[in-house]
Chains A and B, each alone.
Chain A
């Protein structure tokens, strides 16, 4: 479904701040894979997702989505393949626009924006139904500005928006990291439900090792722009946090020191 072949990305090349974020990385995602991605700060997790999404262009290598070469496609064109939820709850929605307007924008992802009316009565009914499934009471607030919602509500809405038009790949970039634990759990629960219902190929970056083990059918660990661990199937099911830490030490040749990763 998603095929990443030998991609590299260096930031600030040729300056003192030169940083190799992704180094000759390859990854194949099969249809229906739910991959969790972990790794320390600066390991390249978010950069990897941003390269897939086209926020940055790769320096080298190729990216294919559903056998289509998207390596040089601009971000907005790749959007028709991708659903994205970001770490910052503010990033995925338009605060000045109504809940229903945000949803209507998302349901037209990958389509030409015409001079037809931006939202129809039929859609409103559909959105009300879909929002009901989130259990956040948003179905009665279709005409509320998104800027008035809480971070958790905005993330749940962004999640819904990212799958309203079924994407080939869903990219979740630490989408619960900015939320309080209870809300984070709720958003994760919704995420899993949405992924299962739509049988979505998913990549979820997380700082939480327990979540990385609990969710998905495959886990990859990154370090210095490489994939150092790739576990799936039965092996992943029996993983423990301790296993992961040992794997990290042997793969990176250093003790795990990142506090954020130890929290779980």
Chain B
């Protein structure tokens, strides 16, 4: 990069930060301190990130990914402030879903295994979260989330060990059986899981004290609105994306892709197939559990039918449409999950269909299923793959 360009960008950044500080000072008396700090910090992080990203990418890829994740988180958080609470909630659900999709994208896309059991792994996380919170109400939220992830990883390990010897259809069959059996397993432990009624979090989930105290003490909108849940979900998703990006680029990630493309060759170069497969399986179930635990937190409760096999089908659909084996595909899938019903009810309104009619109420399934078929037939790498394809074509054309 030319020094000229760097200098110009630097100057622009400094100017932006100064403007942000001035704005913050101006609005500080009329609003909470936290908001003012937020504006300055967000602008600063954004500037630093854009300034340094191109250079960092080659020299310090990990830092670059961290900066990129943070940039994404900051932007989404910022957008979240201005969305109405319903959209925020959708965003939170979608962010949690994108974590699950990341795990599946890694498992299927990077290592070539198929799992139809992700609804059950989500359920493991969701119920661990609820059960732990009901028995130890004082544990901080982040610790409980971590415990849920560990539980998911352990169940993944348990199921992953026999699964490593299986290929394609047999693995699909086993994970399917697990997903279908999961609600029955919950029923067997009904004293823990609350049977068919499920569990509620002991009290309405509240934001941590330090989060509240930064603003006017006990600011009621913060404790009742869903914004803080959205923030937690987005930040956790950001961290999850950061680790997954590193995993994809790491030695393990490369080994996985080799296994997917040619497992015999992978074995010849000294990669232990069973070990790599177990790792992939455990990572994906841990990610699914994290997503499920977030759902419990967001919904303030968990109910067994949510984690039935149908959810696995939804998860699979989303990652395929988004772009299997890619990180951005998981992001796209999460956004689709968050807002698809809004789009579909908009379509129903536009076309003048009777929204309570048989056809309109089944439109969700028809569109999802149809997209799934079309994606696999015409763009196997989903939206992410298609965008990448056109981007490359456009670049090649302009350069050549």
Tell me whether A and B are bound partners: no
Listed in ascending order, the chain B residues whose CB lies under 8 Å from chain A are: none
